[in-house]
Amino acid sequence: MESLPLAFSSGWASGVNAYLVVLVLGIAERVGDSSGIPDVLGRWDVLAIAGFLYAMEFVADKIPYVDSAWDVVSTLVRPTAGAVIGVLLAGDADSLAQAVNGVVGGGTALASHLVKAGSRLAINSSPEPVSNVVASITEDVVVLGLVWFAIEHPQTAAAIAGVLLAVGLVVLYLAARLVRRGWRRLRSKRVAGPGALA
């Protein structure tokens, strides 16, 4: 269960940008002395595919509405990547440890993916594209920094990921309440409009 904190951190990061997580872990495995990172993530073909997909996401993530369409497609990809990375991090441990790592990685990735997708829908309501670019770059920097930090300090990184996930879920909940309230007001104005004219 030593790999559980890294599975949690990489799971959270995978929900935001799974391809960047694979790149960071793979590069760390190639250039570093990271015994906890599985060799398969450092293979050149894995790094090439992850790099290509990250480049696509890097562009798509900065275009309003295209980012939300990409998030819909990624609803299956990100949690699956989080689960697979969690299982790989368990290494040759027993099947229970692999299952726990897979559930933690996939579940955390799904939760952080929902936070990202929901916040992007809210950001897309603004007419200018700058907020999308800023949000995307911020996400990439946080994912890069957290995963790199998690390789050396997994427990601390897991705590940081937990705080980020909790804050994201609270913000998403509050944003959803505001959106619901706005829809109710809009509907009540539409219903009251014709009666007021009569």
For residues 116 and 139, what is the distance between their CA atoms, to the nearest angstrom?
Answer: 9
**pTM, entire model:** 0.85
Give the DSSP H/E element, type plus range, for residue 68. Answer: helix 66-90
At residue 23's C-alpha, the angle toward residues 19 and 28, to 5°, is 150
Q: Helix 95-123 and helix 154-197: axis angle, to 10°?
A: 40
| pLDDT of 181 higher than 90 | no
For residues 119 and 171, what is the distance between their CA atoms, to the nearest angstrom?
Answer: 9
pLDDT at 198: 46
At residue 110's C-alpha, the angle toward residues 109 and 111, to 5°, is 90
Q: What is the percent of the chain with per-residue pLDDT over 70, rounded to a whole number? A: 91
